[in-house]
Chains A and B, each alone.
Chain A
Amino acid sequence: MTDPASAAATPDATLDNAPGSAPGRAPVLEVRDLTVSFRVDDGRAPDVAAVRGVSFDVLPGEVLAIVGESGSGKSVSSLALLGLLGRHAVVGGSARLGGPGQEPVELIGLDRRALQDVRGRRVAMVFQDSSGALDPVFTVGFQLDEMLRRHAPDLSRAQRRDRAVELLSMVELPDPAQRLRFYPHQLSGGQAQRVMIAMALACDPEVLLADEPTTALDVTVQREVLDVLRRLRERVSTSIVLITHDMGVVADLADRVVVMRAGEVVETAPVRQLFDAPRAAYTRELLAAVPRVGTHERPSGATESARPALAFDELVVEYRDRRGRAVRAVDGVTLSVRPGEIVALVGESGSGKSSMGRCALGLAPVTSGTVEVVGTRPGHDSPRTVRAARSRVGVVFQNPAASLNPRYSIGESVAEPLLVHAGLRGAELERRTAELLESVELPAAWVSRYPHELSGGQLQRVSIARAISLGPDLLIADEPTSALDVSVQATVLDVFREVQRSLGFACLFISHDLAVVDELADRVAVLHQGRLVEAGERTRVLGSPEQDYTRRLLAAAPVPDPAEQATRRATARS
């Protein structure tokens, strides 16, 4: 039953189970055998097939989620529908758009002018990076007005203004009339994304394509945007196609789910059925890889020792903004990491968690208070001692592709600390490098590959290999898995746990993802606006949080379980 053709051939069977959609209703968008391939080197190299024969229906008023990992073709499919792929893409198959009472139109092969008329008016799109998608030099009102002027030319100036206010109140922005005069930088990330949704809805489109609309947002803000999207369904008739990799978001919002992998549809099912009884093996793997907060006991690797591997004492970090005002990123935090222990630093963006990590690495200035890293204090001890101590500290950054020198082969990157700090040369260096690559489950033969030839998960394992090359006493990991797909994240976390167990280093693990933290950490510290909100044993902080903010953080992260999401929503409303 995993064959996409058979799933598409019996749409009624899936429709019966779909909540919120009457069986037998004609779809708004009917995609059949969509194929997309990219020409490489102007046809000199074989074409790369990104989407191979994808079929799905979008029913009136439903939320259809397209789920898949990077490279699965989920974004490419949606861009292909609007002809946004550029001239190297060859698109085949059929996509018929035609809501109730609307003239049906075939989107594939439509000429440019006709497509421009469809875009925005009949099919609208919301992208991931909302602050980048709004023009920074025009007000929100101007941009909404422009959209309306283009697609609804018969509205008068006053009517357009009224409509703009109506749209902003529809996405639940406070004081919508006032917000029209705001520039994009005056909005928060969540508000900017809501303005984007309002713009997309300006012309009452039949279909709204939302490509990872909440991925760049903090959990509490994501919650806000998801709430808006959810309530929108009660107000407008637009169908929403939600493209995401986050199973939690799917469980929260979707009616039906299309699971994609390597350019093909693996499974199409109503949301509850998909989570309760996934048919395809891949769907099961995907669901199993999603980390969940479930606090079970686990022995801690921490050793009692007089001297902590890392200690912050009343740390204050201030930056100067563009006008020279001091902005306090970290505000008097005291925290220590014992040898062999993993302490997770949790918080949303702007909470100061990354600044603390950067302080420990000597990349951010300490305004007041002290940082003690493996027995030395940067800024107090001599630069020579501090530099020598660096060889005992490893680091793994968030974006694996950017944190490796593109001019170095991965072997050179891993060997760098050995070469500089341990003075290894020749055959000995090669042997150690190969060992390190194998310890993170990469083939030793890959030493001469360059970063651009590896995938994100593989690169992150190279970063881990580099970080542990000197057998560090302390490892600082700044969001090491947040740029990765869930199943890749699972393998990277496995590797990480494995090397931590065998080398026994202390670790400051910075993350916004409570489920990942729950899988890995011994202790958890929660930061909010530069202050330490709560810190303690993992089971205590995540299991029975004392502070309101920790509880809110825990509640905001959507769990990959539609039933539980529904209960959560019900309790939140009452």
Chain B
Amino acid sequence: MSEPLTESLAAATADGPAPAVARRGVWRTLRRRPLFWVAAAVLTVLGLVALVPSAFAGWFGQPDPRACDLAQSALLPGGEHVLGTDVQGCDVWANVVFGTRASLTVGLLCTALALAVALVVGTLAGYYGGFLDRVVARLTDVFLGFPFLLGAVVVLTSVGTRSAVTVALVLALFSWPTMARLVRGSVRTVRDAPYVEAARAMGLPDRRIIARYVLPNALGPVLAVATTMVGGVIVAESTLTFLGLGLNAPSISWGLQLSSAQSFFQTSPHMLVAPGVVLTITVLAMITLGDVLRDVLDPRGRS
């Protein structure tokens, strides 16, 4: 009796699968997303700018970000300086172009480091729980309770030479705990899912359970936060640099431009707009790419 019944059921259940489900791989699906191409294009351009800023800086006739003339302070956009000049009389366009490398390095490196540490620590704490979990929880409490800026100031003053890499390291040191918390929570919700229990009951090694069952299903919210973190880190670098603790002067970064421009916002907003817009575009492109990837990596988002 089972056969006709199965068939009648296949016809009866509205939520059953369609007879032919379009099957697509990750890349084939990704290729069809216009948003993916937009985000990828923006990030590629930014990458090129970061690698060879001199090729882009000279487009409007002012290739040198350090050729400043106080007599030409705070010029409005137009004329010789396409995006105007800042308080020191430096060309804003050339500064934005040359600032890309430092800002992207700090933003991406710090996020990647924090994410890596958080994934390891958070997954171990979330999956195994117990003593390790308690240690991690208290440790992150300590880091979270510590005033972020004060911590960074103390560490950075004790560091001799400061570059984009050291700043990224210090920022990562203070931003991994929040991420680790998030990873831990996410892993804990997945840990008790029946499919993870089934994997455990099958006698699979922990390594495989974590890598194939837990992490892929727990990563979604973490990636979403990581992509927004890039922007936050770029701004945090600016704060440190403004205090004279970030990048050594005469470094150039978006953060520096933003912090020096903010006091003149009412009289010359253009100094703030240019680096602000690029920063926003960068962060938006990161978030979009993260979202698209998260969708596409999930089989439910593919068919």
Contacts and interface: CB of A to CB of B under 8 A. Distances in A.
B299 A403 contact: no
Interface centre among A289, A421, A441, A450, by most B CB within 10 Å?
A450
A488 interface: yes
Interface centre among B6, B199, B200, B216, by most A CB within 10 Å?
B6
B11 interface: yes
Interface in B213-253: 213, 216-217
B45 interface: no
A487 B3 CA distance: 11
Interface stretch (B12-20, B155-163, B284-292): B12-20
A72 B9 CA distance: 10
Contacts of B199: 405, 416
Interface stretch (B120-128, B139-147, B180-188, B190-198): B190-198
Contacts of A455: 13, 15-17
Interface centre among A262, A282, A476, by most B CB within 10 Å?
A262
A399 B205 CA distance: 23
Contact of B17 (A361, A399, A448, A449): A449
Contact of A395 (B2, B198, B204, B208): B198
Interface centre among B4, B204, B217, by most A CB within 10 Å?
B204
Contact of B194 (A285, A289, A399): A399
B78 to A, nearest CB: 43
B23 interface: yes
A403 B15 contact: no
A252 to B, nearest CB: 25
Nearest to B9: A487
Contacts of B193: 402
A448 B23 contact: yes
Contacts of A390: 201-203
Given A282-B8, A494-B2, A407 B201 contact: no
Nearest to B15: A71
Contacts of B213: 405, 407
B298 interface: yes
B208 A420 contact: yes
Contact of B203 (A263, A398, A421): A421
Interface centre among B195, B199, B205, B217, by most A CB within 10 Å?
B195
A475 B4 CA distance: 28
A363 B195 contact: no
A388 B203 contact: yes
B13 A70 contact: yes
Interface in B1-55: 1-2, 4-6, 8-9, 11-17, 21, 23
Given A285-B8, A450-B299, A491-B2, A402 B201 contact: no
A416 B5 CA distance: 31
B28 to A, nearest CB: 13
Contact of B197 (A48, A363, A453, A490): A363
Interface string A550-567: 000000000000000000
Contact of B14 (A73, A361, A417, A449): A73
Given A421-B203, A450-B300, A453-B21, A69 B198 contact: no
Contacts of A48: 14
A388 B202 CA distance: 10
A333 to B, nearest CB: 20
9 contacts: A289-B5, A361-B201, A387-B203, A395-B201, A402-B195, A406-B195, A420-B205, A450-B303, A452-B300
Interface of B: 1-2, 4-6, 8-9, 11-17, 21, 23, 193-195, 197-205, 208, 212-213, 216-217, 298-300, 302-303
The 9 closest A-B pairs by CB, nearest first: A390-B203, A450-B299, A403-B194, A71-B13, A71-B14, A361-B201, A402-B194, A395-B201, A494-B2
Interface of A: 48, 50, 69-73, 261-263, 282, 285, 288-289, 361-363, 387-391, 393, 395, 397-399, 402-409, 416-417, 420-421, 441, 448-455, 457-458, 463, 466, 476, 485, 487-488, 490-491, 494-495
